[in-house]
Amino acid sequence: MKKMIVASTSTVFGSDYLEYLLPTLREHFKNIENLIFIPFARPGGISYNDYTAIARKAFANIGIDVKGIHEYKNPKEALATTKAIFTGGGNTFELVHQLYKQDVLSTLKKVIENGTPYLGTSAGSNICGVSMMNTNDMPIVYPPSFNTLACIPFNINAHYLDPVVGSKHMGETRETRIKEFHVFNNTPVLGLREGSWLEVMDSTVTLKGNYSARFFQKDATPIEIASGKIIGDFI
């Protein structure tokens, strides 16, 4: 039974890293003392050790110790035996590139589907969908495939931004880019606004947080989904 938190961001304005999610994570990771952190997305190009230290400091607030997956000699074995997993944000292309390079993507999918509690933020949430094709990130590396975990039956557009009414100087909107995606692809896309997250319990995916999300399907008008609603009701 899948047990996942899929969050748009790790940090909302004016808060510390993961601070806004800690009450949820305290329950999500209840009775967990240790977890594996996947730092492959490297926001701003920081080192794995420095990124892991940031995650470790945040989880210390709820009594959980953190060890980076790069610290293990056998990452696949570590994932197969860990009690919990967190994949942080950064660049989704680099994250997916490393998951394939380290040959851990299929293992990660297996343990999540077998019930290991998982947290993803930003890029770590993008990989929960069918593919990473709705990331906002620059393609700084070329992964062997855009296919990702497919633990949820749609793609995530994290950090979703609404168009500014009347503005003509902000380039293509997120909605425009997702419409372009749907010219060539059928996978639904959820625009997940900052401060919102998905709670995944087996096959039930529920929107949480203070904001609605925008749901896009090919050849259909986008739908606003209110917090507390089950996403599957709209597919």
Q: Is 137 a catalytic residue?
A: yes
Please name every residue paired with 35 in a beta bridge, in sequence order, or none if there are none. Answer: 66
Contacts of 85 (CB under 8 A, 6+ apart): 35, 36, 37, 38, 79, 108, 111, 112, 116, 117, 118, 119
Are the C-beta atoms of residues 152 and 205 closer than 8 Å to each other?
Answer: yes
Q: Is 159 a catalytic residue?
A: yes
Residue with tokens 């069918």: 130
The two tokens of residue 215 are 């749901």
What one-character DSSP code corresponds to residue 164? P
The two tokens of residue 11 are 């940090």
Catalytic residue among 159, 182, 212, 227: 159
Catalytic residue among 122, 125, 131, 196: 122
Catalytic residue among 10, 97, 131, 137: 137
Q: Is 97 a catalytic residue?
A: no
Are the C-beta atoms of residues 207 and 226 closer than 8 Å to each other?
Answer: yes
Q: Which residue numbers are catalytic?
A: 122, 137, 159
